[in-house]
Structure 1
Amino acid sequence: MSHLKYFDGSDLGARFGNMCHYSQAVVLPSGIVKLSGQGGWDPSTGSLSPPEAKEGDDAESKGEKQFLDVTTQISNALNSIETVLRAAGCTNGWSDVYQIRSYHTNLDSDAFFTMVAKIKEKCGADHRPIWTAVGVDKLGLEGMKVEVEVEAMLPTKEGK
């Protein structure tokens, strides 16, 4: 569809896109920007595991894989969203977002209120996009605890 414009926010986004045959964002002719789900992977490595497990860590000694905690994954996902938004032309970043959908493998009160706090931090107290939070059994990659997708509107020429 040649009238649609597709974007990746970073080299990492392009790498994931090539690996899984998708784009990070699409801009519709109406100016609506839709982002694919952004996970909580490390923005420099693409990994969901901490850089190095500490010696003697119980999980490591039992041979269990370790993954980034939910707070880190939420922060990483929201930062990735900002990168993709800006690449797609949303120069106001989170201020251009009108809808958020978040998917959580463990939607307990800690994850929920961490998400609330991080969204408020990104959007500011006066900008409140609509939001749906969904608990799911599993996400696309092993170790993913959260995936977030947003919809935004390109700013007008007046910058609003």
Structure 2
Amino acid sequence: MSKPEFFLTPGYGPLLQKELHYSQAVKIGNRIETSGQGGWDDGLNFPESVEDEIVQAFKNLDSTLATAGAKWEHVVHVNSYHVGGFPPEVNQTMTRMYRHYMPHHSPIWTETGVAALGLPQMRIEIRVTAILPD
């Protein structure tokens, strides 16, 4: 088995590692797993709308994947965690982001409603699994 290699997302990654002692991604062999990424900016501030928060979470995942050497085309599995249920704008925005970032494939997806996430302001958290080509 390959030795795990851990990655910090530029910007907010060092802050989260210092404050909460975790990394944003791990690579083992050709598999990359991300921790849940929220819709925060580098100062851990959140947008007003849930739609903008989802869009920012995808941008954060884009940066996290790139830091670990992957792209959205390598993503095979998505888990999303949602506070506040699933009003139409949630699935509409998630679907729009899937089509934007993964226009040529549809990963598997588990969508879960939760009571709370790691920071009180969070309404969305997304984690992914990517498999790099051999």
**TM-score normalised to structure 2 length:** 0.91
What is the rounded CA distance, in whole Å, between the counterparts of 1:46 and 1:9 in structure 2? 13
Report the Cα offset of residue 3 of structure 1.
1.4
- Structure 1: unaligned runs, 5 residues or longer: 51-67
Computing the radius of gyration over CA atoms, which structure comes out larger, 1 or 2?
1
Structure 1 residue aligned with 2:92, among 99, 109, 113?
Answer: 113
* 2:40 and 2:56 in contact (8 A); partners too: yes
Counterpart position of 1:87: 67
Structure 2 residue aligned with 1:134, among 112, 115, 121?
Answer: 112
- Structure 2: unaligned runs, 5 residues or longer: none
- Aligned residues: percent identity? 35
Counterpart residue identity of residue 118, structure 1: M
Q: Give the match's secondary structure for 2:122.
A: coil
In terms of fraction of residues, the more strand-rich structure is 2
- Alignment RMSD (CA, Å): 1.5
Q: Give the match's secondary structure for 1:22.
A: coil
Residues 103-137 of structure 1, C-alpha deviation per residue, up to 9 Å, x if partnerless?
0102222212211111111111x211111111111
Report the Cα offset of residue 9 of structure 1.
1.8
Deviation beyond 6 Å, 4+ runs, structure 1: none
